[in-house]
Amino acid sequence: MATYGLIEYATASPEIREVYDDIMATRKTDYINNFWKALAAHPATLRRTWESVKEVMAAGALDPLTKELIYLAVSATNQCGYCLASHTAGALAKGATPEMVGEVLAVVGMANETNALAGGFQVEIDERFKTQG
Amino acid sequence: MATYGLIEYATASPEIREVYDDIMATRKTDYINNFWKALAAHPATLRRTWESVKEVMAAGALDPLTKELIYLAVSATNQCGYCLASHTAGALAKGATPEMVGEVLAVVGMANETNALAGGFQVEIDERFKTQG
Amino acid sequence: MATYGLIEYATASPEIREVYDDIMATRKTDYINNFWKALAAHPATLRRTWESVKEVMAAGALDPLTKELIYLAVSATNQCGYCLASHTAGALAKGATPEMVGEVLAVVGMANETNALAGGFQVEIDERFKTQG
Amino acid sequence: MATYGLIEYATASPEIREVYDDIMATRKTDYINNFWKALAAHPATLRRTWESVKEVMAAGALDPLTKELIYLAVSATNQCGYCLASHTAGALAKGATPEMVGEVLAVVGMANETNALAGGFQVEIDERFKTQG
Amino acid sequence: MATYGLIEYATASPEIREVYDDIMATRKTDYINNFWKALAAHPATLRRTWESVKEVMAAGALDPLTKELIYLAVSATNQCGYCLASHTAGALAKGATPEMVGEVLAVVGMANETNALAGGFQVEIDERFKTQG
Amino acid sequence: MATYGLIEYATASPEIREVYDDIMATRKTDYINNFWKALAAHPATLRRTWESVKEVMAAGALDPLTKELIYLAVSATNQCGYCLASHTAGALAKGATPEMVGEVLAVVGMANETNALAGGFQVEIDERFKTQG
């Protein structure tokens, strides 16, 4: 169970309700994920985290689905069970096909493998990779 | 320095040269990254890893640039210095703009933050996220 | 289930009981966490780990609650479910308030985010940070 | 070198200078860490990250030094070289003694050890740890 | 539940059955782990991953049990619950004794501890460790 | 540079010298790794860590080389540069051949890949893996 339980809308303070309202309006849903209900135990963290997620995940140079797939990639690397469940749902809701999810996870698996190999063989960085951008 | 040094083309065995040739042909370059030159100390790992990377990173349901950005996301999460240098170079070579790289890293940062928060607050998985696909 | 099950006091060897007794005496409790009962499958690891934990977590330059909060921070970063459950309980037992736990997790989330950003942007260490202490 | 280099105050846009000014005013210093100068390649990430760090690291239920020590604990767990250098400097600047830093790292080491042991022995969570807060 | 469910032999495509058949023949069993049944949602990843695992885990300079113990060490470090369950079973099936598993996990715990300490104390690499092989 | 520098034998306190003497006697060498010289800034951590490493790495159900290879596997997974350098040296000193190191790293790479895949596909644990030992 979440450390301080889940705070439902009905019993939430006005400060928390304001965030919940913005989540529902932004995402066009009447559902609040357990993640937010658990963070509500510390309202400042709830508000700040939501505002950051809202800004970061909005369409920009990358579309929202690509951002969701990147979220999935990080969550798989970190073995975060909750995050894998919620961001897999998020990716599917945004139109990810089994083929796309399969390819994301194939890349994630390969990246974790070669990350360990690069470290393990103590490979030094190529001169040409040292100046970029 | 790489554990067993870097094996250059000039001194490589035919088995290793065959992989190097395929890397250069596939990538349309005459440059072999230090990563492959270090793995060449164990030819079976060099060959298997290259064949897997070649297959996984080819265009499919996701385009090669998106795959490179996912590689970058995993490498940043794992703090793999070599991988960050080589896959940042890879992303830039495939046309990533500063705005795109900035957004990828913003998502990666946010995902690492909320992964830690979801774990830290011990959030239980929403029922609706338990059946997917 | 734990790999080798949980070894209860009633059926434990004298070597294991001695550790269990010290845990209960040091912590002023009659409860032994599952962690120790699982480690008891390898008595040398049980004894060594307990002695180290006992020494490290004792009051010193830092008070026991601060140490428990640091334990929580590491456990959230590592996504260790068992450790999060037991050290959250430990922190609450030592007097951590919701506000304190919330602030710890906010710092942990932020640190995981900026760790990924510092790696991702390949930031070089400032000269002034290279000589310290 | 940072992916897009370091943006110095003299050549920064007004949007970036505003953040730099706030960093210097808040921290009562005329020095801007490389971290911020590298993030400035993506001004939205620079601004959002600084605002979050400023809010999270301010004195609250925990004092700033304790927060800095938690930052250090996470950075050591993640093997983030840049973060270790900058937050060790931050902790020392806020008055951490060698004894305090030694105890933080001792706890961090122990937590990483027992995290791996709890996972490795597949320890199930004690019933009493499942309801908290 | 696995993202796309588990694909059983009875309903699998010929492409998937071919992999399942090879797994059962290679391992001399009629049981297919959930891992493979879940990967079957993306047949290319199923095939490639199995072929790599088959090659890497075969007897070579290291015997299969030692390889399984190394798999266990990585899985404990990564807090991968599924992997810990399946590779603990694998190690026991290959003859690992409680004493061996206990020693593996003791080394894994210690390595995770000293990894964090080496990073935390910012230890520079000894000159004599820079040239090896 | 190490946070508090490296404490050399000539200037070490009797408490530190006692540990250094035991390291040199146990390992039959007159060389002290930087790791120990850096930990000496906190003598209690130096002593406790050395005693644990000494006990854990001694021959038992597993031989010292196998233990060293497991140390290498964890260090590669954690991207610990110092640890990779020192434990690669340790493995080579204990007789590891390039073929053995190559196979260890191949297993480590594969384990990191399948760990991410098992998490990413949200694979549930097989019933038969839930009771072991």
D36-91 confidence digits (pLDDT tens):
999 999 999 999 999 999 999 999 999 999 999 999 999 999 999 999 999 999 99
Decide if F110 touches E, using CB distance below 8 A.
yes
Contact E120 D108 (CB under 8 A): yes
**CB atoms A82 and B112 under 8 Å:** no
* Residue type at F116 in one-letter notation: A
Interface predicted TM-score (ipTM) of this complex, two decimals? 0.97
State yes or no: pLDDT of B60 exceeds 60: yes
Contacts with F120 from chain A: Cβ below 8 Å: 72, 76, 84, 104-105, 108-109
Q: How far apart are CA D90 and CA D11, in angstroms?
A: 27
In angstroms, the CA C88 to CA C35 distance is: 14
The proportion of chain A whose per-residue pLDDT surpasses 90, expressed as a percent, equals 96
Q: What is the pLDDT of residue A121?
A: 97
User: Would you give per-residue pLDDT tens digits along chain E (133 residues)?
Assistant: 799 999 999 999 999 999 999 999 999 999 999 999 999 999 999 999 999 999 999 999 999 999 999 999 999 999 999 999 999 999 999 999 999 999 999 999 999 999 999 999 999 999 999 976 5
Report whether pLDDT(B93) > 70.
yes
Chain centroid to CA C87: 6
Chain B nearest-CA residue for C113: B109
Q: Which two tokens stand for residue C111?
A: 């640190």
What is the token pair recorded at B82? 């070599």
- Three-state SS annotation for B38-90: HHCCCHHHHHHHHHHHHHHHCCCCCCHHHHHHHHHHHHHHCCCHHHHHHHHHH
Mean pLDDT, residues C42-46: 98
CB contacts < 8 A, D to F, total: 28
Mean confidence (pLDDT) of chain F:
96
Assigned token pair, D44? 């939205």
Q: CB of E113 within 8 Å of any CB in chain F?
A: yes
Check whether C133 has a pLDDT greater than 80. no
Residue B116 amino acid letter: A
Residue F8 CA, chain-centre distance (Å), reads: 22
CA–CA dist F109, F73 (Å, integer):
9
Alpha-carbon torsion A35, A37, A38, A40, what sign?
A: positive
Q: Write down the pLDDT at residue F131.
A: 74
Give yes or no for C40 touching D (CB within 8 A): no
- Mark yes or no for CB contact E132/B1 under 8 Å: yes
Q: What is the pLDDT of residues C5-17, one digit of tens each?
A: 999 999 999 999 9
Tell if the CB–CB gap between D49 and B79 is shorter than 8 Å: no
Put simply, the chain B residues between 58 and 87 with a CB less than 8 A from any chain C CB are: 72, 75-77, 79, 81, 84-85
Under 8 Å CB-to-CB from B22, ≥6 apart: which residues? B50, B54
Task: With CB atoms and an 8 Å threshold, state whether E103 touches C4.
Answer: no
What is the band of B131 on the pLDDT scale with cuts at 50, 70, 90?
A: confident
Task: Note whether A44 contacts B: Cβ–Cβ < 8 A.
Answer: no
Range with the lowest mean pLDDT among B29-38, B71-80, C123-132?
Answer: C123-132
Tens digits of residue pLDDT in A90-120: 999 999 999 999 999 999 999 999 999 999 9
Contact list in D for residue A55 (CB cut-off 8 A) is 44, 48
Q: In angstroms, rounded to a whole number, what is the distance separating the alpha carbons of residues F106 and F113? A: 11
Across the interface, which of C2, C52, C130 has its CB nearest the CB of F52? C52
Q: What is the per-residue pLDDT for E131?
A: 73
Half-sphere exposure of D88 (CA within 13 A, CB side): 29
B-to-F residue pairs, Cβ atoms closer than 8 angstroms:
28
Give the single-character DSSP code of A126: P
Query: How do residues D45-58 score in pLDDT, each as one tens digit?
Result: 999 999 999 999 99
Is residue B133 within 8 Å of residue E5, measured between CB atoms? yes
Among candidates C1, C40, E25, C35, which has minimal Cα distance to F129? Answer: C1
Lookup: tokens for F34: 């930087």
Residue C90 at interface with chain B, using a CB cutoff of 8 Å? no
With CA atoms as reference, the chain A residue closest to D53 would be A48
Question: How far is it, in rounded angstroms, from Cα C13 to Cα C7?
Answer: 9
Confidence bin at D131 (pLDDT 50/70/90): confident
Give me chain B's average pLDDT, please.
Answer: 96
| Cβ–Cβ under 8 Å, residues D42 and B98 | yes
Q: Which helix (H) or strand (E) element contains residue A15?
A: helix A14-27
* Nearest beta carbon to residue A3 from set D1, D48, D132: D132
Q: Confirm or reject contact between E131 and chain F (CB < 8 A).
A: no
User: pLDDT at residue F132 above 70?
Assistant: no
CB-facing half-sphere around the CA of E55: CA atoms within 13 A: 17
Which residues does chain A have within 8 Å of residue D80's beta carbon, measured at their own beta carbons? none
DSSP letters spanning E48-85:
HHHHHHHHHHSSSSS-HHHHHHHHHHHHHHTT-HHHHH
Judge whether B107 is closer than 8 Å to chain C, CB to CB: no
Write the CA distances from F65 to B4, E66, F75, F82, integer angstroms.
19, 11, 15, 19
Transcribe A36-93 into DSSP letters: HHHHTTSHHHHHHHHHHHHHHHSSSSS-HHHHHHHHHHHHHHTT-HHHHHHHHHHHHH
Q: Which residue has the tokens 């073929």?
A: F99
CB contact under 8 Å between D85 and E122, yes or no, is yes
Candidates D122, D123, D124, partner chain F, best to mutate (most F CBs within 10 A): D122
Q: Strand, helix or coil at C122?
A: coil
Tokens 């393990």 locate to A120
Side-chain-side CA neighbours of residue E36 (13 Å): 23
Alpha helices in C58-132 (DSSP H): 64-77, 81-93, 98-120
pLDDT in tens, F68-120: 999 999 999 999 999 999 999 999 999 999 999 999 999 999 999 999 999 99
Tell me how far CA of residue A126 lies from CA of B6, B123, F28, in angstroms: 11, 42, 38
Q: Which residue has the tokens 């042909």?
A: B25
Opening angle at CA B48, ends B44 and B53, nearest 5: 145
Partner residue facing A3 (CB), from C79, C101, C122: C101
Cα of A86 to nearest chain C Cα, Å: 16
Asked if the model's pLDDT at residue A64 lies above 70, the reply is yes
- Judged against a pLDDT cut of 70, whether residue F21 lies above it is answered with yes
Q: Is the CB of D105 less than 8 angstroms away from the CB of F78?
A: no
Within an 8 Å CB–CB cutoff, is residue D125 touching chain A?
Answer: no
Q: For B59, phi and psi rounded to 5 degrees?
A: -60, 140
Residue C47 has pLDDT above 80, yes or no: yes
Q: Over range C75-82, report the average pLDDT.
A: 98
What is the percent of chain F with per-residue pLDDT over 90, rounded to a whole number? 96
Distance (Å, whole) CA F88 – CA F94: 10
- Could you tell me the two tokens for A109? 């698996």
Write the pLDDT tens digit of every residue in A8-57. 999 999 999 999 999 999 999 999 999 999 999 999 999 999 999 999 99
Phi first, then psi, for residue F2 (nearest 5°) are -55, 145
